[in-house]
């Protein structure tokens, strides 16, 4: 199970494509509901991945494939357009639009966890003998249980990662918009102007990349503990 194969790569890309599409479609749908039709006009309010790939082919195709080939897991990105004038006029609405993406990933991770528990009850899945950040469930036999465990395990791990990473309170990540829910309009305008500065966004990305592992690992262990409360892993 440790060897990287074409099956592994196809499984990862299928889940990555679905999860990223749901993330961006959630941004676009909430923006539409809150008064900004920009992403809707661009075709982003859809679970069809094609419009999202056309908008960000590098982040949706090239980077995920390269990251998997080099590390055995996938990273990438997409984006949904929005009207900056609308965001400036309605900072709280813009914040809810931003939160919608990682919230959708959290929902997908919860759904995956429910499927894992259901698969265990059905005798298809079991807790893994060796737990890693990308392998959280084993299958009891080949065939459909193997395929299902592969997909649902990746769905859990990848969406947990996407949720936590995007909620980091650093620009340009979605979590940096959460303070807008608490600030006055004048404070929100100053905060947004600062956070959208190119240098600040670059520093934010560097910091997020550098420190994410320190944040993600304990949270991943905590979530696995919730997933398998009856099975004790010796986390190092």
* Inter-CA distances, 191 with 79, 82, 112, 174, 188, Å: 22, 18, 36, 14, 5
Average pLDDT over residues 173-185: 95
- Checking if the pLDDT of 146 tops 80, the result is yes
Provide the pLDDT for residue 235.
67
Percent of the chain whose pLDDT exceeds 90 = 86
Asked if 230 is an active-site residue, the reply is no
Phi, psi values for residue 126, rounded to 5°:
-150, 155
CA distances for 32 relative to 26, 37, 73, 175, angstroms: 10, 5, 33, 20
Task: Specify whether the CB–CB gap between 133 and 217 falls below 8 A.
Answer: yes
Confidence of residue 188 (pLDDT cuts 50, 70, 90): very high
pLDDT number for residue 2: 47
Mean pLDDT of the chain: 94
Q: Is the pLDDT of residue 1 over 70?
A: no
User: What's the pLDDT tens digit per position in 73-100?
Assistant: 889 999 999 999 999 999 999 999 999 9
- 24, 56, 138, 174: which one is catalytic? 24
Rg (CA), the chain: 19
Is pLDDT at 3 greater than 60 in this prediction?
A: no
Please give the structure tokens belonging to residue 80: 């949904």
Burial readout 72-89 (b: 16 or more C-beta within 10 A, e: otherwise): bbbbbebebbbbeebbee
Read off the pLDDT band of 131 (50, 70, 90). confident
Per-residue pLDDT tens digits for 39-79: 999 999 999 999 999 999 999 999 999 999 898 888 999 99
∠ CA 92-178-39, nearest 5°, is: 60
What would the DSSP string read from start to end of 48-91?
-HHHHHHH-HIIIIIHHHHHHHHHSS----------HHHHHH-H
Q: What is the mean pLDDT of residues 116-135?
A: 93
* Alpha-carbon distances of 109 from 133, 140, 153, 155, 222, rounded to whole Å: 14, 22, 9, 6, 14
């Amino acid at each position: 199970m440790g060897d990287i194969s074409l099956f592994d790569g196809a499984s990862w890309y299928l889940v990555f494509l679905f999860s990223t599409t749901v993330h961006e479609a959630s941004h676009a749908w909430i923006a539409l509901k809150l008064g900004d039709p920009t992403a809707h006009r661009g075709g982003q309010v859809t679970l069809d991945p094609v419009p999202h790939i056309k908008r960000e082919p590098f982040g949706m195709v090239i980077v995920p494939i390269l990251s998997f080939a080099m590390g055995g897991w996938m990273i990438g990105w997409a984006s949904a357009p929005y009207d900056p004038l609308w965001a400036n006029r309605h900072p709280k609405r813009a914040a809810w639009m931003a939160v919608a993406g990682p919230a959708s990933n959290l929902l997908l991770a919860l759904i995956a966890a429910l499927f894992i528990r259901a698969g265990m009850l059905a005798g298809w899945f079991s807790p893994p003998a060796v737990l890693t950040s990308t392998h959280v469930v084993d299958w009891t036999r080949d065939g459909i249980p193997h395929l299902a465990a592969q997909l649902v395990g990746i769905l859990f791990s990848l969406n947990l990662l996407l949720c936590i990473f995007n909620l980091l309170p650093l620009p340009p990540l979605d979590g940096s918009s959460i303070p807008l829910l608490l600030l006055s309009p004048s404070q929100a305008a100053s905060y947004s102007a600062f956070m959208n500065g190119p240098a600040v966004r670059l520093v934010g990305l560097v910091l997020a990349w550098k420190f994410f592992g320190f944040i993600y690992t304990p949270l991943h262990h905590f979530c696995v503990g919730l997933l398998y409360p009856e099975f004790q892993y010796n986390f190092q």
